[in-house]
Amino acid sequence: MDSVLDRIHTPMDLHGLSIFELEFLAKELRQLIIETVSKNGGHLAPNLGTIELTLALYSVFSLPEDKVVWDVGHQAYAHKILTGRRNRFATLRKKGGITGFPNIRESDYDSFGVGHASTSISAALGLAVARDLLKKDGHIIAVIGDGALTGGEAYEALNHAGALKIPLIVIVNDNHMSIDANVGAMNEYLTRIRLAPEYRKAKRDMTSLLRSIPHIGDTVYKTASHIKDGVRAALVAGNLFEEMGFHYVGPLDGHNIQTLKEIFTQAKESNEPVLLHVCTKKGKGYAPAENAPDRFHGIGKFNIETGECIPSPSAPKTYTKVFSDALIALAEHDKRIVAITAAMPSGTGLKAFGARYPSRFFDTGIAEEHAMTLAAGMAAAGLHPVLALYSTFAQRAFDQLIHDVCLQGLPVTLALDRAGLVGEDGPTHHGVFDLTYLRMIPNMTIFVPKDEEELRYMLGTAIGLPSPTAIRYPRGCGLGVPLTGDFRDIPIGKAELLQEGQDVSLLALGTMVRAAQQAAGLLASAGISCRVVNMRFAKPVDVEEILQSAHKTRCLVTMEENVLTGGFGSAVLEALADAKVPVPVLRIGIPDEFVEQGTRQEQLFAYAMDPEQISERILHFLKETML
Ligand SMILES: Cc1ncc(C[n+]2csc(CCOP(=O)(O)OP(=O)(O)O)c2C)c(N)n1
């Protein structure tokens, strides 16, 4: 058969296709997605699971007038290919290429930008309210995974939508998985619905019974649907969604395009909120991803034949692994330590902690706010929780951090992984705001390790403190420094002087310490002598060291992998202003803009944060200030 994909230029081209053609197209999409992700990396398993769902949706609804809001957006590759981006799909996640998530600046078909979970129902409800107030037409559909449905915002939106009662379609894409296995009572509830054989049988029996009544058949079937609903609700111990104001339909086979099309066609006619429970298989159609959907959730380059990752040259341990090993070791002797993750046990390295200390490990689901207050509660009762979150997702729990943890001065340690620039996932995932949003909170101590060994020391030190602490460390491998296995206390608020110098002081934090040392080397060959300091703490900053540097050298350079607005450089300026010390300061960090996707190296280069450009900037700064 000739390519069907070649005939698709807009989603409206799907409307006339037969089921056979749509199924053929599903195969072509699968192949293109597998090939592209094997080269560029990306989210594979979630995308393979939603191909039939996407095709059925787009062959029934009329995009872009009808709008589909994808939750998290990591399953929207078929959407991108079918909405005019096929020719650019090879540039997926690359610098200047198409993004890995829906992005309203990229296409009119991307009705809402996303990357963080559990926002789809709120956004879709907003679109639906606007449609009605502005007297426009169009169906609004939110597609949310069972994992994203563990996030509190999803319930806030369901609660609101059920009461507003305006037309809105919510599709729950239930594949029984978050990134790792899904958790929580809602997950168990969906499973009960999915598996209840008596529910499926009773639904079938009731339908055929009503339809078989002579003469009245379909009419009675429709008017009596409330009886059916009643039976359904009773059988599944009360259908939660119906009770929240949604008309529930499901469970449905999410890979059967014919069935999905029929149900979507019916859902189009509804004047009230409808919730369609669609069951899919994560990784569908590619055996390695079906067998290991967690590993193939988000993956780097891999070999399509074997499913094996393309090995990178022997790399040092990741910061995540060093954190994980250190926490397990500390917990051996300190029974107060408990570990919490919000749906990222593998990503944060806490899976190993859970295996070692099952009763001291908690996965809350995608519920960062709850996780933060849960930690506060535990700390108030004598435990020392270590809450490991990706820096970007910790943004969710900002109020809980201020109000529940810091205001009460509770000993919770935040382990913020993926801090700084994260590369290909782009602007939704960079951890570049944490120094700013943490630094303003009273009672907080912020540790920033220069390497993986210092991360170990800082973790031990933080857990020893009776107050809130945060440690932020980057994505990926450490520097390969030797790991002694020791835990040494780091003096709070004290910087580490790495090199004396007379001309310029480089005050660096975290990943930028190595860059500062390299830049100092380059500057030395240009005859500039640098004092290099590992500042270690974004709060409290070592004011004494800052003032000494101002006294000993002609200017200061601050270096951080964070936005400049309100970050570490700002802290240094505040310290100098408070001490009334007038000294020129060059701040190196991320300017006031969202950082686009690319490799981490490309991003550092784009902001002139690599050692070569840093040394050039310093030379230029020295000339500019005529020092
Ligand atoms: C607020 C937030 N926390 C954590 C994540 C990381 N994350 C991305 S996808 C995902 C799992 C989503 O599971 P589900 O919604 O079921 O989609 P599936 O991948 O199974 O299709 C998680 C935890 C996120 N994107 N946003």
Catalytic residue among 52, 153, 368, 424: 368
Concatenated DSSP letters of 292-325: -TTTTTSB-SB-TTT-PBPPPSS-PPBHHHHHHH
Q: pLDDT at position 223, please?
A: 43
**Does one domain contain both 192 and 203?**
no
**Residue 216: pLDDT over 50:** no
Q: pLDDT at position 199, please?
A: 57
Asked if omega into 466 is within 30° of 0 (cis), the reply is: no
Q: Which of 59, 98, 69 is nearest to 81 (CA)?
A: 98
Residues 38, 30: Cα–Cα separation, whole Å? 12
Q: pLDDT at position 197, please?
A: 62
Residues 230, 224: Cα–Cα separation, whole Å? 10
**Does one domain contain both 107 and 122?**
yes
**Does one domain contain both 502 and 566?**
yes
**Does one domain contain both 60 and 140?**
yes
Q: What is the pLDDT of residues 302-330, one digit of tens each?
A: 999 999 988 777 889 999 999 999 999 99
Cα-to-centroid distance, 425 and ligand 1 (Å): 13
Q: What is the pLDDT of residues 175-204, one digit of tens each?
A: 999 999 999 999 999 988 888 765 555 555
Give the position, in ligand 1's atom list, of the atom nearest the Cα of 343. 23
Cα-to-centroid distance, 46 and ligand 1 (Å): 10
Higher pLDDT, 499 or 199: 499
Q: Which of 316, 333, 320, 321 is nearest to 487 (CA)?
A: 333
Give the position, in ligand 1's atom list, of the atom nearest the Cα of 366. 3
Buried b (16+ CB within 10 A) or exposed e, 378-403: bbeeebbbbbbbbbbbbbbbbebbbe
Q: pLDDT at position 204, please?
A: 53
Q: Is residue 508 part of a domain?
A: yes
**Mean of the pLDDT values across residues 135-144?**
98
pLDDT band at 627; cut points 50, 70, 90: low
Residues 274, 155: Cα–Cα separation, whole Å? 15
Q: Is residue 296 part of a domain?
A: no
Q: pLDDT at position 239, please?
A: 84
Atom 11 (ligand 1) nearest CA: 178
Give the position, in ligand 1's atom list, of the atom nearest the Cα of 74. 9
Give the position, in ligand 1's atom list, of the atom nearest the Cα of 347. 6
| Rounded percentage of the chain residues whose pLDDT exceeds 90 | 89
Q: Is residue 457 part of a domain?
A: yes
Residue 165 three-state SS: coil
Provide the token pair at 131.
């449609």
Out of 52, 72, 279, 389, mutate this one to test ligand 1's pocket (max ligand atoms within 8 Å of CB): namely 72
Domain count, the chain: 4
Examine the residue annotation and report whether 194 is marked as an active-site residue of this protein: no
Q: Is residue 314 part of a domain?
A: no
Q: Is residue 418 part of a domain?
A: yes
**Does one domain contain both 154 and 204?**
no
**Does one domain contain both 428 and 359?**
yes
Residues 380, 375: Cα–Cα separation, whole Å? 9
Range of the domain at 592: 496-624
User: Is residue 84 within 8 Å of 10, Cβ to Cβ?
Assistant: yes
**Does one domain contain both 364 and 411?**
yes
Quote the mean pLDDT of the chain: 93
**Does one domain contain both 507 and 567?**
yes
Identity of residue 4: V
- In angstroms, the Cα distances linking 326 to 349, 381, 419, 470 are 11, 24, 19, 15
CATH number reported for the structural domain that contains residue 80 in this entry: 3.40.50.970
User: Is residue 405 within 8 Å of 375, Cβ to Cβ?
Assistant: yes
Catalytic residue among 396, 531, 587, 600: 396
Residue 604 three-state SS: helix
Q: pLDDT at position 203, please?
A: 56
Q: Which of 161, 141, 155, 158 is nearest to 64 (CA)?
A: 141
- In angstroms, the Cα distances linking 586 to 482, 569, 625 are 33, 9, 10
Q: Is residue 331 part of a domain?
A: yes
Q: Which alpha helices (DSSP H) does 366-415 contain, by range?
A: 368-380, 391-394, 398-400
Residue 123 three-state SS: helix
**Does one domain contain both 330 and 255?**
no
Cα-to-centroid distance, 277 and ligand 1 (Å): 18
Atom 17 (ligand 1) nearest CA: 145
**Residue 142: pLDDT over 60:** yes
Examine the residue annotation and report whether 368 is marked as an active-site residue of this protein: yes
Q: What is the pLDDT of residues 268-304, one digit of tens each?
A: 999 999 999 999 999 999 999 999 999 999 999 999 9
pLDDT band at 626; cut points 50, 70, 90: confident
Catalytic residue among 232, 282, 531, 539: 282
Out of 175, 280, 366, mutate this one to test ligand 1's pocket (max ligand atoms within 8 Å of CB): namely 366
Q: pLDDT at position 212, please?
A: 45
**Mean of the pLDDT values across residues 517-533?**
97
Domain final residue pick, 188, 206, 235: 235
Give the position, in ligand 1's atom list, of the atom nearest the Cα of 46. 21
Q: pLDDT at position 201, please?
A: 56
pLDDT band at 337; cut points 50, 70, 90: very high
Q: pLDDT at position 196, please?
A: 76
Q: Which of 582, 513, 500, 571 is nearest to 542 (CA)?
A: 571
User: Is residue 341 within 8 Å of 350, Cβ to Cβ?
Assistant: yes
Least confident range from 55-64, 74-83, 243-252, 566-575: namely 243-252
**Residue 226: pLDDT over 90:** no
pLDDT band at 495; cut points 50, 70, 90: very high
Q: How many CA atoms lie within 13 A of 523 on its CB side?
A: 28
**Does one domain contain both 135 and 263?**
yes
**Does one domain contain both 588 and 467?**
no
User: Is residue 388 within 8 Å of 341, Cβ to Cβ?
Assistant: yes
Buried b (16+ CB within 10 A) or exposed e, 162-179: bebeebbbbbbbbbbbbb
Q: Is residue 215 part of a domain?
A: yes
Q: Is residue 44 part of a domain?
A: yes
Cα-to-centroid distance, 117 and ligand 1 (Å): 6
Identity of residue 555: C
**Mean of the pLDDT values across residues 503-523?**
98
**Does one domain contain both 119 and 258?**
yes
Cα-to-centroid distance, 298 and ligand 1 (Å): 10
Cα-to-centroid distance, 165 and ligand 1 (Å): 27
Q: What is the pLDDT of residues 21-63, one digit of tens each?
A: 999 999 999 999 999 999 999 999 999 999 999 999 999 999 9
Cα-to-centroid distance, 72 and ligand 1 (Å): 6
Q: What is the pLDDT of residues 423-470, one digit of tens each?
A: 999 999 999 999 999 999 999 999 999 999 999 999 999 999 999 999
Q: Which residues line ligand 1 (CB under 6 A)?
A: 46, 49, 72, 74-75, 116-117, 145-148, 173, 175, 177-179, 282, 297, 343-344, 366, 368, 393, 396
Examine the residue annotation and report whether 396 is marked as an active-site residue of this protein: yes
Q: Which residues have C-beta within 8 Å of that of residue 105, sequence separation ≥ 6?
A: 113
Q: What is the pLDDT of residues 120-136, one digit of tens each?
A: 999 999 999 999 999 99
CATH number reported for the structural domain that contains residue 573 in this entry: 3.40.50.920
Give the position, in ligand 1's atom list, of the atom nearest the Cα of 115. 25
